Amino acid sequence: MRPDFTRELMKWNLNRNTRSMPWKGEKDPYKIWLSEIILQQTRVEQGKAYYERFVKAFPTVQQLAKAPEEKVFKLWEGLGYYTRCKNLIATAAFIAKEKKGKFPDDYESILSLKGIGPYTAAAIASFAFNLPYAVIDGNVFRVLSRYFGIATPIDSGDGKKLYTLLAQELLDKHYAGQYNQAIMDLGAVICKPQQPLCGECPQKNDCQALKHGTIKQLPVKEKQLIKKTRWFYYFIVHINDTVLVQKRTGKDIWENLYEYVLHEAEGLLEPGEKNLKSIVKKLLGKQAFQIKSISAIFRQQLTHQTIIGQFIEIETGTRPPALKNYEAVKKAGIRNYAFPKFITGYIDQKNKPGHLF
């Protein structure tokens, strides 16, 4: 163990760490697991409200396991990365049935649960049971890379091995949970990605990045994220007091969430209602329809792709045969269905005027 690093970190945690979160200090492995799954790919400030709503709705893993899937997805609505929610449901059912509602209390058993990787398993094991497993998340990578001046890419095979061994070496084995929380807090509030508060850092006297002026260069990533752009045109088909929706079931974004009638284009559509009507005719066949409104442009940035699109409200008399697999739902109850954030953004601003690209 590097005693200086660990000692200074634990001293800072005891005397100066004021970071507060609703799950901090929690010992119930179910609630820790819940918070960790919510916080995957989600900022803490956004995750707090979701965590509190989930704990209120499902205080125990058994109650989560018994809940209708639609209710869980609805509560998750807006968090994104819906595979997390799908795994949450599956794991809750497994624990309730196979483990009689008792959350596993050893690292390997926790790691074997669906949707749980080494980081989450270490977090649950150390926070709930004080087991000596070091967590390694973005905050930890950043702190260690800067403190030791490590330029090995954090997303490389060699980098993952190096940081895993180093993190485990630094871990305070007697107070594993406190140590893990402290190093993550240090990365979140002091050793921030941009504009770190180096003057307030307990490690400033020995930080290699501060000494050599390489804070902005560390940590290093090997792979550049390749992003693509997709164009979604949603047709909201009104039939009397209902609209047509369907659940997305393919292995794509927003799996298990609902959507309106979708036309995915290869690029920007040429402006003009004539072009738009030709698309509607392909969707509805020969059935008469009326275009009621065209929304403003909506954008959503996902990790690997950007979604750009518009919403077109149309009215027709009866359900078109080509859309027989869609579900006709009452307009008044539309918010009972779980939609992706891209669609709820439109629902929330439904009457905002716009034009076709």
273 pLDDT tier (thresholds 50, 70, 90)? low
73 pLDDT tier (thresholds 50, 70, 90)? very high
Active site residue 36: yes
Mean pLDDT of 42-70: 96
Per-residue pLDDT at 271 exceeds 70: no
pLDDT of res. 309: 92
pLDDT of res. 245: 97
Q: What is the reported pTM? A: 0.82
Per-residue pLDDT at 350 exceeds 80: no
The one-letter amino acid code at 288 reads: A
Instruction: Tell me the CATH number of domain 3-217, given options 3.30.230.10, 1.10.340.30, 3.30.565.10, 3.80.30.20.
Output: 1.10.340.30
- Pick from 35, 28, 37: nearest CA to 87: 37
For CATH 1.10.340.30, list the domain ranges present in the chain: 3-217
327-347 pLDDT tens trace: 999 999 999 999 999 999 999
State the average pLDDT for the chain. 92
pLDDT of res. 351: 47
Per-residue pLDDT at 181 exceeds 60: yes
Q: Is cis: bond before 219, omega within 30 of 0?
A: yes
Q: Are 338 and 76 in contact (CB under 8 A)?
A: yes
Locate 43 and state its tokens: 């900022």
Mean pLDDT of 136-153: 97
220-231 pLDDT tens trace: 998 877 789 999
pLDDT of res. 352: 55
10-33 pLDDT tens trace: 999 999 999 999 999 999 999 999
Least confident among 97-101, 206-210, 288-292, 327-331: 288-292
Spot the catalytic one: 8, 26, 36, 327. 36
pLDDT of res. 114: 96
Compute CA distances 4 → 8, 11, 172, 216, whole Å.
Answer: 6, 10, 12, 24
Could you tell me what percent of the chain has a pLDDT over 70? 96
CA angle, corner 63, sides to 135 and 95, nearest 5? 50
User: 3-state SS of 44-82?
Assistant: HHHHHHHHHHHHHHCCCHHHHHHCCHHHHHHHHCCCCCC
pLDDT of res. 180: 98
For CATH 3.90.79.10, list the domain ranges present in the chain: 228-348
Rounded to the nearest 5 percent, the helix, strand and coil shares of the chain are: 45, 15, 40
Mean pLDDT of 132-144: 97
Mean pLDDT of 193-205: 96
Per-residue pLDDT at 1 exceeds 70: no
Domain boundaries 228-348, corresponding CATH code: 3.90.79.10
pLDDT of res. 222: 87
Mean pLDDT of 149-157: 95
Locate 333 and state its tokens: 């109850």
Could you tell me what percent of the chain has a pLDDT over 90? 78
Least confident among 110-114, 179-183, 221-225, 260-264: 221-225
Backbone phi, then psi, for 54, in 5-degree steps? Answer: -65, -45
